[in-house]
Chains A and B, each alone.
Chain A
Amino acid sequence: MTTFIATIEHVVKGPVWGCQDCGQCVLHSTGMTCPMTCPKTLRNGPCGGVRENGNCEVKPEMKCVWLKAYDRTQDWPLPATWKAEYNHLRPPVDNRLKGTSSWKNFFTKRDRWTPTGWKNSTDESQGVDH
């Protein structure tokens, strides 16, 4: 059943969003642009190599994924809660979820798991010197 859901998800999201099956979908928070299609798989914004014409450092013929994400977040009629998440710090990918269904992981909250050290480092905790 799990594989079945993963297959359906891939069939739907593959062609439309270029889904890479990371199993922890963040499309809603990135202007419906899959960050895993960035050659560096960056999940928190563009690298410093974006070309003058807005194209990718690695694939000069492709528009930088993060320029697309930024434009779409501004221009598309997406829910305000999604847009608000655009600037959130997305955690490193959990590589164990590769190839599993992010729909299932969303409903079981498995995709929200982060390592303890990461979880304890809240944005607020960084203002304080230890």
Chain B
Amino acid sequence: MSNSLRFKTSKFIDETYRVSFKFNNKTYFGFKGDTLASALLANGIHLVGRSFKYHRPRGIMTSGSEEPNAIIQLHDNSSRTEPNVRATEVEIYEGLVASSQNCWPNVNFDIGGINNLLSPILPAGFYYKTFMWPASFWEKYEYFIRKSAGLGKSPKVADPDIYEHNYIHCDVLIIGAGISGIIAAKMAAKNGFKTLLVDEKSYLGGSSIYDNSEFSKINNQITSSWLEKEINEISKLENLEIKTTTSIAAFHGYNFLLARENLTDHLPINQRNGKVRQKLLKIRAKKVITATGSIERPLIFDNNDRPGILLSSAIKKYIDLYGVACGENNILFTNNDTAYETALSLIQRGIKINAIIDNREQIDSKISYEVEKNNIKIYKGYSVVDTYGYKRINKISIMKLSKDGQKLIGEKIKLNCDCLGVSGGWTPAVHLFTQSGGKLKFREEDQVFIPEVYPSDQISIGSCNGDFSLDEVVKNTLSSIKKFLNIDNSEFKTIEIISGLNQSKRNIWLLPSDKSIGKTKSFVDYQNDATSKDIKLALREGFRSIEHVKRYTTTGMGTDQGKLGNMHALGIISETAGTKMGEHGTTTFRPPYTPLTFGAIVGRNVGEFFDIFRRTPIHDWHIANNAKFENVGQWKRAWYYPKKNENMHQAVQRESKAARDSAGILDASTLGKIDIQGTDASEFLNRVYTNAWSKLAIGKCRYGLMLNEDGMVYDDGVTTRLGENHYIMTTTTGGAANVLGKLEDYLQTEWPELDVYLSSVTDHYATISVCGPNSKKIVSKVIPDLNFSDEKFPHMSFKDSKINNIKCRVMRISFTGEHSYEINIQANYGKSVWEKCMEAGKDFNITPYGTETMHLLRAEKGFIIVGQDTDATMTPIDLQMDWIVSKKKYDFIGKRSLYRSDTIREDRKQLVGLLTENPDDVLEEGAQIVADIKKTPIEMLGHVTSSYYSPNLKKSIALGVVKGGKKMLGQKLIIPMENKNINVTVADPVFLDKEGERLNAKL
């Protein structure tokens, strides 16, 4: 490779290890240790993408996670493809493939670039104002906007990588391993605190680790050498854990933090298989030390976004850390001293600096004198007013600033360059601090927001706390950590700091232009193409709150969350509106600090672990017998058991008929079961169910309905009295946990005087229900010890018994209207008892049926399913279940609500049966019910809640809720469907065997 841009001076680059990679389909070379950005720059490539709105050519701007422009698609088209990756953070490896993402058809010829020419008609709020009107056009616009805007592509196949979640508990968490973080880590760990130090970079030391200047020294050593020794020392400490390439994504209350640790992203693809790619760390720290440093500010001037314009600190890092020069003819533009450090790094390697443009009239620091000594022209009190060059900067023009900094004076001077470094001072990285709930204050003298009120046991140190000089950073870190950790020994003897920098700065948020503002493009948010003009327009249109300006102009709303330009937006707002900084609020920084992968968020909860499910003890039998399953709550329940080519309808018809003609068997193990004991158990049931319980004899079962305090049906089920002070309650499958929670709530908070204990025993028992005219014959064979005569064992009663010496409980209860028995046995015997029943039922065509048939059978009987025929607006009276509401009981949950003015309305929706005119028409559940289709708007009277074709009645049956339905028996109603109107008649919801002959038949 031609490499006039690469300098063999960096300790961080392994020049013996050449790496080839592809960018936009072309092969390039870099070295191990390079980021994609440094390797591209070494190849002379600045243009890496197009801006979002105007599609202007954009280049690499920074060297870190704040990068707004170099946003790329990694691993084109492979299963690992990932959009919105910052080229400044990707370590290159052999075979890396990446491409520009915000351009179409390609980065050098971009069709959206026409937006740049149309920009006078693309002001702030353009998308809101134009494309939203007329609303019907949106579909047409959207296609082209999406195609040309392009925020990268999501992968089309499953992610092959493995991700993990880990919990970490520590005494002290230190975020950021720059110089202050390293000092803090040593102090904490050496004083016995279990310490975790994390940094988003792959190396420790932050920007000080490549600070080789003679002008900043610690104890008479060059900063980087001093720091290296310290890092070497702390890496041996036992109670210090260090994690690099680990970025804190979120800082929540109570010192709970989320971090993403990258483990394999730097490896060639073929070395990643079987390894964990990223870990999501859930960190709970007793104390948090935030040492996240600061982000250099750009300067806001006309055309400040051309490729080749970088932050001055990024130019320094590329040359010092990666040995890469960003240009051959450099100009630096600054309002403070840090650009002179960059200048010295360039001078040291003999890289040409054409000029330094400094906003300040007076510059008085050792390093500026050193730069001047090298015959570099410094334009003092000047500002850049424009830049030139389409795909790469080639020229700038500068003018002298007026005394107040608001105007330009004198002649315009043009200067050539291929790289412009800008420095607008530094913004403390307070993102994580504010995420944690911290409050900021504004420091007038250098125009920065710094931490003021800490919401938890935490502290900010170093430049994220507004300490910018090396002297302040080191000394304040020492003193505040001593105080924060309450320790005497700082572990550091006297520290002498020499620094050649002066902290003076001339802050001008929006630099003046010689053009009218309407003709300028001074970018505040590079990624979202928000300019100073847009912000001023928003203010003119009446926006004031920063949150509104932000949304209207989209400033700070890109994937970089405006890390570079938010401060300028605030500054321009306050200057334009004539208010104080912070008066309109600072923007809220929300997690994640840098984008998180979905993989890290879900960890191992993928595939079958995405949503855990519960299996009954008989599950394997259902699988072996071709059951189809449905999800009920977290349970997998057998839905139906198709034979050969049967579809669901055919299977359900067969199962339903068999259950009534001979025998059916259902796995009911999922029903919630709550064991209730205590001397007040009967009184407790009296209070929670609508019906009376005191007189239920031991050995008897009773159906109960439970309401919410607002009178609406909440759950139902059969409860059995096992003993004087012992009941077992069943609940719906989905409601079990909530019912238990509700009962505990009343017991613990309203009625603590009651002697009642509740235990969930749902998982303890398998429940097998055998129903049909032959059910008795079958269960008699399975449990020969038990007397099944109707006299001894009538409907709604229970018996203790044994199967092969294993205790079981048998209830004679029915949800189908058939003579039926429920066997409850210790869960691990469930499958074997089920198989015994199948064996015993062989001669009677015993037919396993699933939930669908169960629903059909109960609908024939008009039994409700809570949650299907009810929602949270149905009272027992609405359900025509007045019979179950005790008139005698003084109180029960929900009683008072049953005669509120609203619940006694006669036109409430009430449960009715529906029969179709054509018995073959099966209604759709959820279909709307109306009376009159001629009068518009058509009044909706209700909807269908359950609907089936009944093989036993040989006609379609349905349940529905209809306004005032109770009084409409026999009335004709209409179900309007897409293609036809179906005529129905309101009927009794009990369709089959209203007298209960089947239930009580002598078998």
Does chain A bind chain B? no
Q: Residues of A with Cβ closer than 8 Å to B?
A: none
- Partner-A contacts on B (CB < 8 A): none
